[in-house]
Amino acid sequence: MFKRFAWIGAGAAALAPAGSGPALAAQPLPWQISFQPAASPVMEQIQWFHDFLFWIIVAIALFVLALMCYCAVKFNEKSNPTPSPTTHNTTLEVLWTAIPILILVAISVPSFRLLYFMDRTDKPEMTLKAVSHQWYWSYHYPDHGNLNFTSNMIQAEDLKPGQPRLLAVDNEVVLPVETNIRVLTTSEDVIHNWAVPAFGLKVETVPGRTNESWVRITKEGTYYGQCSELCGLNHGFMPIQVRAVSKQAFAQWTEEAKKKFAANLEPESVRVAQAR
């Protein structure tokens, strides 16, 4: 059911006039009422779990509504002028204790399975480190010659056609598809949160601490996210933009990026020494 709404969103994006942005951009859309299309196994499972819970909630709500209607009709003063003095019914009491427990157990099994699945990947093929600052991000690729750069939001007046307001950045994160990517996050100042809805990722970035998660992007495209922890004045203006490309295109990009951000490649200690 919810996937259908996501498709409506994706359809609307595809129907947008040419030149208005990448077709596979995963971002919030007008009138969107459900998730962005999943672009990672974690998000696929989150959506499955959401739908699973939804139908359990619908069943419980309908059952309670039916009980209430039944009582209102059957036991109102007119149709039941002399109420029964019964105060206990052992069978009923056992049932209304045991059945909710069984429902909670049925929910907990996939819930824990998903929690552990989201936690970390066994076989990371590369690492991306996202560091938060008030109010921008910096990204580090420790497996690619310490490639690193900062990523700032593009101000509304500087947007080019197709760039979404409050979401587009100057230097996007580029990642390969079909690769197990370990995501490490930390912060330079206060607590922020690196969140990309299409990946099912929402990781706190805490000063003095490194948090870990992972992503395996299944589709090429551009994905947007935002800082999801109230972090101060410009909290709403430090978006995240990820471009997922093929492995070959990623290898090519790292070579170009190493040239573009050559000044950042040396370890910080060397840079500090040179500046003196």
The answer to whether 11 touches 31, Cβ cutoff 8 Å, is: no
Q: Site for Cu ion (CB under 5 A): which residue of 131, 231, 242, 257?
A: 231
Least distance (Å) between residue 209 CB and Cu ion: 15
Contact by Cβ (8 Å): 37, 198: yes
Identify the sign of the CA torsion 92, 96, 99, 101.
negative
Interface with Cu ion, residue 196, by CB under 5 A: no
Of 4-12, 32-40, 82-90, 186-194, the window that binds Cu ion (rule: CB under 5 A) is 186-194
- Nearer Cβ to Cu ion, position 6 or 203? 203
DSSP conformation letters of 141-191: ETTTTTEEEEE-BPPGGGPPTTPPTTT-BSS-EEEESS--EEEEEEESSS-
Residue 192 lies near Cu ion (rule: CB under 5 A): yes
The label of the residue with tokens 């949160």 reads 193
Query: Which CB sits closer to Cu ion, 111 or 234?
Result: 234
User: Which residues are bridge partners to 225 per DSSP?
Assistant: 240
Which span (73-81, 187-195, 215-223, 244-252) binds Cu ion, by CB under 5 A?
A: 187-195
CB nearer to Cu ion: give 117 or 237. Answer: 237
The amino acid present at 194, given as its one-letter code, is W
* Minimum distance from residue 235 beta carbon to Cu ion (Å): 5
Binding site for Cu ion (CB under 5 A): 192, 227, 231
